[in-house]
Amino acid sequence: MRFSTKALRVGQDPSGHQNLAVIPPIVQSATFAWRNLDDIPRFDYTRVANPNRAALEEVIAGLENGKHAVCFSSGMAAVMAAFSLLEAGDHLLMASDIYGGTQRVFENVLPRRGIGGNEFDASRPETIREQAKPNTKMLIFETPTNPNVRVMDIAAIAREAKALGITTVIDNTFATPALTNPLDLGVDIVVHSTTKYISGHSDIIGGAVVTNDADMSHWFFEHLKTEGGAPSPFDCWLTLRGVKTLAVRMERHCANALAVAEFLEGHPNVERVHYPGLKSHKDHDLAARQMRGFGGMMSFEVKGGAERARRVAENTETFILAESLGGVESLLGYPPLMSHGSMTEEQRLGKGIPPTMIRLSVGIEDVQDLIEDLDRALRA
């Protein structure tokens, strides 16, 4: 079964539903009846398991070519589930180019649990060996990165880590399983913010962890059951509805993003464009080998300083100034105040996030409208 068919059929067979419903019904029940005390039901309490969540977990695992998936109430809850494998005294390697929320956990939460860490340059997999310690148990990275949109060599990172006995975690939110399947490239754990492209409509908050390791999957399930970060049945149902169109949405996201990036690259008021679909991007060749499309995310730097960038961000009409990404609508973000706002300016500059940077989540609108909107804002 191929990707587009999996998205519509895995975990969603009508024969498994009462009255042969083609669309799985919402099972909005907190609890389920037991027939007797000797026959423990598959579903007994929705924090533990629910039919809508079970269907969503099955399809997400299938799309990632994985054996097991556990869904959570947010992407950060999924990241925290991965980190729950660590114990006091363990050491974590975190890619230096990464989402600001993951950075917050690394700096503010894990040290309080006795877990230390170092950053490493994921664009240079050899730095894993340089930064690893005898107690390094895990590393986490993402590709494409947020907000610099760098592409990392997944297989090379996985090989380096495996040689050192380090568990690898990748945030695959930007690429989605439609474009990249990290488990096939040797990664141990894939995390997603299903809020983004997987649901695709900016109407739910959710996350997922995918692995081929049965013991890890059992641990994630126990973590979810114990700590209570379960998504609601309705959010799972909405995500199931959204994931059906993931393949066709990503085709449009990719096509629109490339056209927007090419326009911005030639604009007189743009200093630099970060999009791997451009041949000028330093990771273009790697992205072409590793991905099945270049994605819908990009960032660019505006000429004229921070105030000019802020004016551009505040003057688009089709692009909506908002947090988040991956919905059908085009969103514009300003990383210094949004995704990476908790960092100091010094930290941001050190990670290549200047005050002139704008991040775009290119939606599925008519691409000419998007281009004209950005042109108006850049010339205002």
Active site residue 159: no
C-beta separation of 234 from 102 below 8 A: no
In which element (H, E) is residue 158 found? helix 154-163
Active site residue 121: no
Which of 53, 99, 153, 373 is catalytic? The answer is 99
Residue 2 per-residue DSSP state: -
Distance CA 300, CA 147 (A): 9
Active site residue 42: no
Helix (H, G, I), strand (E, B) or coil at 192: strand
Whether residue 354 has a cis bond before it, omega within 30° of 0: no
Distance CA 252, CA 50 (A): 33
Residue type, 334: Y
Which of 90, 97, 171, 188 is catalytic? The answer is 171
Distance CA 238, CA 241 (A): 5
Active site residue 303: no
Residue (of 240, 241, 327) closest to 53 by Cα position: 240
- For the record, the structure tokens of 279 come out as 């041949």
Which of 47, 104, 310, 311 is catalytic? The answer is 47
Read out DSSP for 259-313?
A: HHHHHHHT-TTEEEEE-TTSTTSTTHHHHHHH-SS--SEEEEEETT-HHHHHHHH
> Which residues lie across from 68 on neighbouring strands?
211
C-beta separation of 207 from 194 below 8 A: yes
List all residues 6 or more positions away from 135 whose beta carbon is below 8 Å from its beta carbon. Answer: 89, 90, 91, 116
- For the record, the structure tokens of 136 come out as 């390094």
Residue 106 per-residue DSSP state: I
Which of 6, 53, 137, 196 is catalytic? The answer is 196
Distance CA 160, CA 131 (A): 12
Distance CA 266, CA 269 (A): 9
Distance CA 45, CA 125 (A): 44
In which element (H, E) is residue 56 found? helix 51-63
Instruction: Provide the annotated active-site residues.
Output: 47, 99, 171, 196
